[in-house]
Structure 1
Amino acid sequence: MQSKDPSITRLTPADHRRVPWKNGGGVTTELAVEPAADGRFVWRVSIADVVEPGPFSAFPGYDRLIAVVEGDGMRLSVDGAPPVERRRLDPAFAFAGEAPVWCEPTAGPIRDVNLMLDRASATGTLTLLAGQAGHRVAGDVLLVHALAGTLTVMPDGGEALPVPAGHSLLLRGMAALVEAPDGAEGVCAEVQRR
């Protein structure tokens, strides 16, 4: 369990970790993760490249939120339900980590952002921001990642902090306002412990 004392940590591309998919079908870039004592994790935010149709890895006991951040879009078939189509910067799509999922890019390779949450210990949301958008974030843990341009994060009672493309800001125990100026894009992952 992490400390509940308020803190802000800057994460650069050098802090990211490339991790093979559990099913061997690709590689994901882990932006941030909170390990649990049992070898699992409480939450993880990552960005994955999907270059061809294929299955997702199974993550039993986790809730997943996913959104397309580069490329045209993807079709997801989850647990035998009719396919759901998600386009670039559409709102995040939620599904159970243990559900069988087939993913098919709609027009060439895509990149997606994922928030995974251990269902027993955390809930959360994943919000995308694009050009002249603002979003108030609050939670036990917040990860703000800039996809393009420079985001501005204003923690309550603190100074404005710039977050350039490819970088992240990890905030614990505090709320903030995140702004994406014209031409900027970003993602906000909010985690609340159960």
Structure 2
Amino acid sequence: MPSITRLSPADHRRVPWKNGGGVTTELAVEPSGDGRPDGRPDGCFVWRVSIADVVEPGPFSAFPGYDRLIAVVEGEGMRLSVDGAPPVERRRLDPAFAFPGEAAVWCEPTAGPIRDVNLMLDRASAAGMLTLLAGSAAHRANVHRAAGDVLLVHALAGMLTVTPEDGEALTVPAGHSLLLHGAEALVEAPAGAEGVCAEILRR
């Protein structure tokens, strides 16, 4: 049975980085439960969507066994070097960059602090995608049809519209999110609005 939950900034949780280099804002997470058979510690998750501020160059925390997707949502952009490979540059609202959580990653903002959004997925139990929407730029997507076992739609600016299949349109104001389980939806970013949509599929 499809379910829809509204999340406000009051539902967010501030979590220190594993490497101690900063703090991330957890928008939504699905814990994986206790007693994992693979030996990883309790407190792991099936998936997590978060936003973090990066103010200076530094390494990413290691998340063995996870797949990560990251995109810049504020600031000029960043360069990422994964396992010593040539740096990859991502600008604000560019398509998400995917990399394995166990990789050694060095991040360098290109021109001052940035804010990024992260989707992390337990590789053994989930896969997914991260889509950026912007209603003010013609060359970027402003409408996205999302499908998955779990959808997390977060408004970065303005007001997003989310229309579940066979349902009524719902609005999502800036800083708020909509969490949908077992539902497909049309996500729209009108002029002046920006947002991100995470789609999670269980393996």
- Which residue, out of 156, 169, 172, partners 2:165? 156
What's the offset of the Cα at 1:164?
0.2
The residue number in structure 1 matching 2:193 is 184
Spell out the pairing of 1:1-194 with structure 2 (5 A cutoff). 5-38=1-34, 39=42, 40-131=44-135, 133-194=142-203
Segments of 5+ residues of structure 1 without an aligned counterpart are none
What's the offset of the Cα at 1:6?
1.1
What's the offset of the Cα at 1:37?
1.4
Alpha-carbon distance between aligned partners in 2 of 1:83 and 1:30, rounded to the nearest angstrom: 27
Q: Deviations over 1:72-103 (max 9, x none)?
A: 00000001110000000000000000000000
What's the offset of the Cα at 1:42?
0.1
Code of the aligned partner of 1:83? P
Aligned residues: 190
Code of the aligned partner of 1:178? V
What's the offset of the Cα at 1:145?
0.1
What's the offset of the Cα at 1:19?
0.3
Code of the aligned partner of 2:15? V
User: Aligned to 1:14, what secondary structure does the other structure show?
Assistant: helix
**Identity rate of aligned residues, in percent?**
86
User: Aligned to 2:20, what secondary structure does the other structure show?
Assistant: coil
User: Aligned to 1:147, what secondary structure does the other structure show?
Assistant: strand
Following TM superposition, the consecutive aligned residue runs of length 4 or more in structure 1 with deviations greater than 4 angstroms are none
The residue number in structure 1 matching 2:37 is none
Code of the aligned partner of 1:35? P
TM-score by length of 1: 0.97
What's the offset of the Cα at 1:10?
0.1
Segments of 5+ residues of structure 2 without an aligned counterpart are 35-41, 137-141
What's the offset of the Cα at 1:167?
0.1
User: Aligned to 1:57, what secondary structure does the other structure show?
Assistant: coil
Which piece of structure 1 moves more, 165-174 or 30-39? 30-39
Alpha-carbon distance between aligned partners in 1 of 2:108 and 2:155, rounded to the nearest angstrom: 25
Alpha-carbon distance between aligned partners in 1 of 2:33 and 2:191, rounded to the nearest angstrom: 42
Code of the aligned partner of 1:15? D
